[in-house]
Structure 1
């Protein structure tokens, strides 16, 4: 029996983010296909490239460098599953500035970049 994906470890240029359980998401990107339909039905499709996205919620504590996170551009972001798969998004940038929330000490981060490669 194989191990199922349950946890994700997200790293930005090798530094592990303090991600919260169950919040890691990967959209590997790739190619989006749009159907082309004529009077007689399906004729084929067109393609366009789609960027990758990696998202998670992180804990914000005294060691969290929010300014450095906000400057993230042209980075390598790794999404490692506890089931063994590893995905790398190159040329990644933070999509929106980090906005920490008081009370629960967390913030959401989303990185965008080139389509993911499986390592």
Structure 2
């Protein structure tokens, strides 16, 4: 059985040439345990934002300003296992520092499996 090894990430149909190690937290409903004085444990729910993190090499053709200003995008995370997710209304959450590599963090609506 094949395990995840590589991810392909694209935004608005443009592919990012990412380095190994991209991750996606799907977001959605998160639960927090709430211990009670009678020894039982309940929970409460809250919406958690998705978070896609990736690193791309700084190249001549990398649209750094476009990535910095990214809002209202459709971002797709495709695993080499054949599974894919989309983050709609996505936006870049971090300020971008340039160097040898560029780290990018994206959030938006909870990820939906395609």
User: What is the TM-score when the length of structure 2 is the normalising length?
Assistant: 0.93
1:117 is aligned to 112
Alignment of 1:1-119 (within 5 A): 2-20=1-19, 22-101=20-99, 105-119=100-114
Counterpart CA distance in 1 for 2:49 and 2:27 is 5
Task: Tell me the SS of whatever aligns to 1:98.
Answer: coil
Counterpart CA distance in 2 for 1:108 and 1:38 is 41
- 1:114, distance to aligned residue in structure 2 (A): 1.2
User: What is the root-mean-square deviation of aligned Cα atoms in Å?
Assistant: 1.2
Counterpart CA distance in 1 for 2:32 and 2:40 is 11
8 Å Cα contact 1:57-1:106 kept in structure 2? yes
1:42-69 Cα shifts (integer Å, max 9, x gaps): 2522100001011110011111111111
How many residues are matched? Answer: 114
Task: Tell me the SS of whatever aligns to 1:100.
Answer: coil
Structure 1 unmatched ranges of 5 or more:
none
Q: Which moved more, 1:82-91 or 1:28-37?
A: 28-37
User: What is the TM-score when the length of structure 1 is the normalising length?
Assistant: 0.89
